Amino acid sequence: MGQLFHIEESQYLQSFEHLISSFSVQKYKHKILIVDDEKDNLQLLTRTLRSEYDIITASNGQEALHQVEKYGNDISLIISDQRMPIMSGTDLFAKVRMLYPKIIRILLTGFSDVDILIESVNKCELFQYILKPFEPDELKMIVQNGLRVYDLANNKENLLSDLKELFFTTIKSIASALDAKDPYTHGHSQRVTIYALIIANQLDFAESVLEDIETAGLLHDIGKIGVPEDILRKPGKLTDIEFDLIKQHPARGKQILAGIDKLANIACWVNSHHEKWDGWGYPQKLKGEEIPAAARILAIADTYDAMTSDRSYRKGLPHEVAVEEIKNCSGTQFDPSMVEIFLQVAKVFEQAKENPEKYYQTYSLLNKSISLKKD
């Protein structure tokens, strides 16, 4: 019995090893859709490619579109005949290009179609066309090249999106670590970010600038990392020395961020978020438009949140009072044109204050690009 068990056990282990090795040897197979109304042609194409690729077929454009709908971006490449009933190959590709532009498109065509083909090539951005009758080896090579282009494009895209995700999660965790230094400023960085984005969305900023404003909002107080917690949390009046220390945080923030090339502009905005329109802010006493627009937006967002949030020593001010205060400081502390925009969207500030998570989901661009990737 023991022997039998032993044999069974070793057989089990062997087959397990086999299973593991077959998994590791198994290579990812690209899915290729072949579209042709002539059965013989469809079979020949399938025979030529099936050992290396996962082949699906369709006998006309309509059927092909159904396959594309079903498999979406699982399809890496489509080979289609040009002359088919219902829909031509180029018409099919024009539709595929709209739906799934990443799929590589190769057209099979006869000599007599070449003129029409040249006209329609732009319409569907072909990777290549193959003249019939084709050489199987030539076809294999063209397919291989197409898939190489496909892989390169996708790897680059994945790599960029992975980097973006890493960057964003790092920034988010720095922001929450920062907010956690003082329970009374919990969520401050996120709320300032939302408020800044609400204003920025009213202006004609490019998407990449909005992303930078989001990053700057999350990191605007990063320089406080160097300020002792008992000073940050101190309920009473600060001494001059303590206040001086706190006043160093924009410059410290700049120092921290300036080491990263990609964050050079953000570092500059962080440095300027306590500057005042009339030149009485810090650290550089910049005046008017010397202060970067993003920093002028951050200043309003930051002040609104500071006024409306509870502190250890006082309750937060009501929304209306904060709005009045910002209005009164137009032209002294704040850029009048930014205050004007703030007044137009002040209602949204009030709603976002009640439900920051929801509003962050709506306004965040960095978060959105990551959720899109996960979908």
Interface residues with Fe ion (CB under 5 A) are 221
Smallest separation (angstroms) from Fe ion to the CB of 167: 22
Question: Which residue lies nearer to Fe ion by CB, 32 or 257?
Answer: 257
Smallest separation (angstroms) from Fe ion to the CB of 273: 6
Whether residue 232 contacts residue 265, with contact meaning beta carbons closer than 8 Å, is answered with no
**H or E segment at 128?**
strand 128-131
Single-letter residue type at 77: L
What are the CA-CA distances from residue 240 to residues 35, 237, 266 (Å)? 78, 9, 29
For residue 57, the cross-strand partners are 34
Smallest separation (angstroms) from Fe ion to the CB of 253: 8
Sequence-distant (≥ 6) Cβ neighbours of residue 19 within 8 angstroms: none
Whether residue 352 contacts residue 305, with contact meaning beta carbons closer than 8 Å, is answered with no
Q: Which of 335, 313, 339 is nearest to 324 (CA)?
A: 339
- Burial letters 23-39, b for 16+ CB under 10 A, else e: eeeeeeebbbbbbbbee
The DSSP symbol for 102 reads T
Sequence-distant (≥ 6) Cβ neighbours of residue 318 within 8 angstroms: 308
- Burial letters 288-318, b for 16+ CB under 10 A, else e: eeebbbbbbbbbbbbbbbebbbeeeeeebbe
Single-letter residue type at 280: W
Closest residue to Fe ion using C-beta atoms: 221
Q: Which residue in 224, 254, 276, 353 is the catalytic one?
A: 224
Question: Which residue lies nearer to Fe ion by CB, 79 or 192?
Answer: 192
Smallest separation (angstroms) from Fe ion to the CB of 126: 55
Rounded distance between C-alpha atoms, residue 108 and residue 89, angstroms: 8
224 given a catalytic annotation: yes
CA angle at 167 for the pair 163 and 171, rounded to the nearest 5°? 170
Q: What are phi and psi of 57, to 5 degrees?
A: -130, 165
The DSSP symbol for 334 reads B
Smallest separation (angstroms) from Fe ion to the CB of 94: 53
Smallest separation (angstroms) from Fe ion to the CB of 105: 53
Q: Catalytic site residues? A: 224
